[in-house]
């Protein structure tokens, strides 16, 4: 590197080892000597906003993405009463394009559970209240396309699995708000799951 007038910045350099299925062991000590220093493998590395890991599971990347989207959606919900519908839709679509769509081709071969996000509602209406949203930008359930049936069904399966993990064996309510009369506040399709107490009917 010195002969090419290059210098390694250790504070910004990471080494990832991607073991092949036929590798003898993923725990073998691997390091690269570089002049007066040695670069050892890292558990993860971030490049162009994407966090990579040796197993290429993208678990840390998806976890961070989920946390970020929850933060932005919560802020949009706070200011929703002061926004017109078209401006709200523009904000949500901008969030999807800048966060969810960015480098999403890297997630194409991952399990189906990565096609949506689940997180707790910022203003819970029950002891357990979480949302399930697709990464695909669908403004309203009434605007969903027929060829998105598999994705919509998957959202319900994820809602069921998360509800089981939350201990809602006594039952829960699944709600999708649509449009003005449906009291939809954020124009990106999302499923509410509420439980942990006796719910009444009609909802109001």
Provide the 3-class DSSP secondary structure of residue 21. Answer: coil
Omega cis (within 30) before 202: yes
Describe the crossing of helices 85-95 and 59-79 by its angle, rounded to 10 degrees.
170
Q: Nearest to residue 161, comparing CAs of 113, 199, 195, 196? A: 113
Residue 5 backbone dihedrals phi, psi, to 5 degrees:
60, 40
Query: Which one is catalytic: 61, 129, 188, 190?
Result: 190
User: Is 2 annotated as catalytic?
Assistant: no
Q: Residue 111 half-sphere exposure, CB side, CA atoms within 13 Å?
A: 7
Q: Token pair of 70, please?
A: 């929850």
HSE toward the beta carbon, residue 203, CA cutoff 13 A:
10
Give the C-alpha separation, 54 to 56, whole Å: 6
Active site residues: 190
């Amino acid at each position: 590197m010195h002969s090419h007038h290059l210098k390694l910045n250790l504070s910004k350099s990471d080494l990832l080892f991607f073991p092949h299925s036929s590798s003898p062991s993923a725990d073998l000590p691997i390091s690269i000597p570089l002049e007066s220093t040695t670069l050892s493998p890292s558990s993860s590395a971030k490049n162009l906003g994407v966090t990579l890991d040796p197993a290429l599971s993208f678990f840390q990347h998806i976890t961070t993405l989920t946390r970020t989207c929850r933060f932005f959606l919560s802020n949009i919900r706070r200011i929703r009463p002061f926004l017109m519908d078209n401006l709200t839709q523009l904000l949500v679509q901008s969030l999807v394009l800048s966060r969810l769509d960015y480098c999403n081709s890297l997630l194409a071969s991952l399990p189906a559970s990565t096609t949506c996000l689940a997180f707790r509602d910022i203003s819970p209406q029950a002891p357990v209240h979480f949302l399930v949203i697709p990464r695909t930008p669908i403004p309203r359930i009434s605007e969903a396309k027929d060829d998105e049936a598999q994705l919509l069904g998957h959202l319900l399966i994820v809602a069921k699995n998360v509800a089981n993990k939350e201990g809602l064996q006594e039952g829960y309510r699944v709600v999708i708000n649509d449009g003005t009369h449906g009291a939809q506040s954020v124009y990106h399709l999302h499923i509410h799951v509420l439980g942990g107490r006796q719910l009444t009917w009609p909802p109001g």
